[in-house]
């Protein structure tokens, strides 16, 4: 008879702990290897293999009019390979190519700006309302 109240107390404590524990930050949920995971702040945008997210370089604003996200990644990859990867991948995720490095989906616009310095390519991802 003592086991039943004890089980209820333990169950209540576990439920309270689950509800009160904050979710892990986005970066901690991503895989750490190059090319693994997604672009920081845009959970449904895959990060091209060969690119690594630049830590603490992005910004996320979630406004009533839509979200605004800026994120950066870099790697030893060619600009043409980046454009090819996202031109092939994004339509499968509902994005429509508007121009080189520019895509539209459900009221949002995604732009990829590429720059190269010392043989490393930096990709600036910008997501904003259309």
Give the closest residue to 108 by CA, choosing from 52, 41, 38.
41
| More confidently predicted of 76 and 11 | 76
User: CA-CA distance, 112 to 77, in Å (whole number)?
Assistant: 14
Q: Is residue 17 part of a domain?
A: no
Q: Is residue 1 part of a domain?
A: no
| Residue 63, pLDDT score | 85
What is the domain count for the chain? 1
pLDDT digits (tens, 9 = 90+) for 7-36: 464 445 444 444 343 333 333 333 344 445
| Residue 8, pLDDT score | 60
Q: Is residue 15 part of a domain?
A: no
| Residue 24, pLDDT score | 33
Q: Is residue 40 part of a domain?
A: yes
Q: What is the mean pLDDT of the chain?
A: 80
Q: Is residue 112 part of a domain?
A: yes
| Residue 107, pLDDT score | 92
pLDDT digits (tens, 9 = 90+) for 83-125: 999 999 999 999 999 999 999 999 999 999 999 998 899 999 9
**Statement: residue 3 has pLDDT above 60:** no
Q: Is residue 10 part of a domain?
A: no
pTM tops 0.85, yes or no: no
- Mean pLDDT over 31-42 rounds to 67
Domain that residue 99 falls in: 30-129
Q: Is residue 87 part of a domain?
A: yes
Q: Is residue 23 part of a domain?
A: no
């Amino acid at each position: 008879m003592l086991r039943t109240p004890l089980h209820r107390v333990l169950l209540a404590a576990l439920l309270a702990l689950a509800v009160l524990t904050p979710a892990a930050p986005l970066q901690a949920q991503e895989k750490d290897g190059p090319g693994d995971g997604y672009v920081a702040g845009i959970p449904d945008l895959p990060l091209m293999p060969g690119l690594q997210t630049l830590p603490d370089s992005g910004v996320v604003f979630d406004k009533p009019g839509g979200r605004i996200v800026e994120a950066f990644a870099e790697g030893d990859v060619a600009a043409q390979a980046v454009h090819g990867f996202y031109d092939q991948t994004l339509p499968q995720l509902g994005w429509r190519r508007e121009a080189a490095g520019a895509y539209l989906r459900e009221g949002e616009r995604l732009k990829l700006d590429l720059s190269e310095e010392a043989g490393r390519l930096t990709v600036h991802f910008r997501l904003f309302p259309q």
